[in-house]
């Protein structure tokens, strides 16, 4: 019997990557794979009905899911309305690190397991974090911009304008999951003293690479702080004006996690006053970054357009992780990364 699969990709994880990965995971199972391509990242993702991060439309998904048993996608929306129009859907696999494009409550009511791909981009994001951290610590953003304008600024060699080395510097990481732990390992190897604030980390996970401390201690001791927490009600806006003021003068702040963790107006004030010597950001409170954003003119800032998790390896890894769940489903094996396991009982 042939199983019908929808491979709903985009310009990053192309439909063909999903198709190739699903066929490899399915073995000899006969498959009818239909492909759909959404326009992300050429068109920004955002809310679709009740889900917070998705691409395309409910109408596209409803049409594409007709007669489909399994869907693998990155940003395709799984909403209440989509589920109501897809009675044959038995498995939904998103290649995101979390199932943010799926209505889990509705999927559970409809009996559809939702799988996701945790850690898919941990290595890429950790490497990008280190890129921005090093660039901010050595003033790469401003010096690069000056050279592009034809200005050779010898005064960057003045003592007060020089950057700092990682070796011997105290670096604080807020969050110690798949990304933060990788960043810690590299920083420790470079000679940094790494502090961590993460109420959920087990002491053995630190493995001698870092010291677990309260947030106020981390802020007061760290010359560089990098954010790696998930956005929850508890962490929303956790680094605001008071927390930035608690940092030593001349500190560096890096965020490749989520824009909602940080008060960017307070950051710009601290950069303008010199309390912060620099910053590196890949995520923002509004994306795309508005043309009038203060971040575009603040001194000492290195900016990238939310690309930390984007590498060719991530595209292949994410497709393979989603496809692996398809293979398990087809073989009748337990699903490994299911966000609503109660539907399996």
Tell me, yes or no, whether 113 and 131 share the same domain: no
pLDDT at 247: 98
Q: Average pLDDT by consecutive 10-residue portion of the chain (345 residues)?
A: 96 98 97 97 92 95 98 98 98 96 98 97 98 97 94 92 96 96 97 96 88 97 97 94 98 97 98 97 94 96 96 98 98 97 92
Domain that holds residue 108: 3-120+311-344
Tell me, yes or no, whether 216 and 90 share the same domain: no
Tell me, yes or no, whether 178 and 254 share the same domain: yes
Tell me, yes or no, whether 183 and 230 share the same domain: yes
pLDDT at 44: 85
Strands 193-197 and 170-174: parallel
Domain with residue 329: its CATH number is: 3.40.50.720
d(CA 165, CA 210): 18
Tell me, yes or no, whether 184 and 281 share the same domain: yes
Strands (E), 243-322: 251-255, 276-281, 301-303
Q: 116-151 burial, b for 16+ CB within 10 Å, e for fewer? A: bbebbbbbbbbbbbbbbbbbbbbbbbbbeeeeeeee
Tell me, yes or no, whether 112 and 147 share the same domain: no
How many domains are contained in the chain? 2
Q: Which residues pair with 9 in a beta bridge?
A: 37
Cα dist from 82 to 67, 295, 322, whole Å? 13, 38, 20
pLDDT at 208: 82
Q: Which long-range contacts (CB under 8 A, 24 or more apart) does 103-106 make?
A: 103/50, 103/51, 103/78, 103/79, 104/339, 104/340, 106/78, 106/79, 106/80
Tokens at 37, concatenated: 């391509």
Tell me, yes or no, whether 154 and 228 share the same domain: yes
Tell me, yes or no, whether 149 and 231 share the same domain: yes
Dihedrals phi, psi of 10, to nearest 5 degrees: -155, -160
Strands 46-48 and 51-54: antiparallel
Residues belonging to the active site = 258, 287, 306
Q: Element (H or E) spanning 71, and its range?
A: strand 70-73
Tell me, yes or no, whether 158 and 180 share the same domain: yes
Tell me, yes or no, whether 113 and 41 share the same domain: yes
Tokens at 173, concatenated: 């990481």
pLDDT at 345: 81
Tell me, yes or no, whether 316 and 231 share the same domain: no
Q: Specify whether the CB–CB gap between 93 and 76 falls below 8 A.
A: no
Tokens at 135, concatenated: 């660039």
Tell me, yes or no, whether 44 and 63 share the same domain: yes
Q: How many CB atoms lie within 10 A of CB 243?
A: 20
pLDDT at 315: 98
């Amino acid at each position: 019997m042939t199983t019908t699969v929808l491979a709903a990709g985009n310009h990053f994880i192309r439909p063909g990557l999903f198709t190739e990965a699903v066929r490899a995971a399915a073995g000899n199972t006969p498959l009818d794979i239909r492909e759909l391509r959404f326009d992300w990242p050429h068109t920004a993702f955002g809310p679709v009905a009740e889900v917070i991060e998705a691409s395309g439309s409910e109408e596209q998904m409803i049409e594409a899911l007709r007669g489909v048993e399994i869907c693998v996608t990155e940003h395709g929306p799984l909403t209440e309305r989509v589920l109501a129009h897809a009675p044959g859907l038995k498995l939904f696999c998103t290649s995101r690190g979390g199932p943010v494009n799926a209505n889990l409550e509705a999927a559970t009511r409809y009996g559809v397991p939702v799988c996701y791909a945790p850690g898919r981009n941990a290595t890429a994001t950790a490497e990008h974090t280190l890129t921005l951290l090093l660039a901010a610590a050595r003033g790469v953003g401003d010096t690069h911009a000056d050279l592009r304008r034809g200005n050779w600024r010898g005064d960057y060699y003045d003592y007060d304008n020089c950057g700092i080395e990682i070796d011997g510097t105290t670096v604080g990481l807020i969050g110690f999951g798949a990304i933060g732990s990788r960043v810690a390992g590299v920083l420790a190897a470079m000679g940094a003293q790494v502090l961590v604030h993460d109420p959920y980390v087990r002491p053995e996970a630190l493995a001698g690479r870092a010291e677990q401390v309260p947030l106020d201690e981390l802020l007061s001791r760290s010359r560089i702080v990098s954010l790696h927490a998930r956005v929850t009600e508890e962490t929303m806006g956790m680094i605001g004006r008071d927390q930035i003021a608690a940092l030593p003068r001349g500190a560096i702040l890096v965020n490749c996690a989520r824009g909602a963790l940080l008060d960017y107006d307070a950051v710009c004030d601290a950069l303008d006053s010199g309390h912060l010597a620099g910053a590196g950001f890949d995520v923002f409170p509004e994306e795309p970054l508005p043309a009038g954003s203060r971040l575009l003119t603040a001194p000492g800032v290195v900016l990238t357009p939310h690309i930390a998790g984007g590498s060719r390896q991530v595209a292949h890894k994410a497709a393979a992780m989603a496809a692996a769940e398809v293979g398990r489903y087809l073989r009748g094996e337990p699903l490994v990364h299911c966000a609503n396991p109660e539907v399996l009982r």
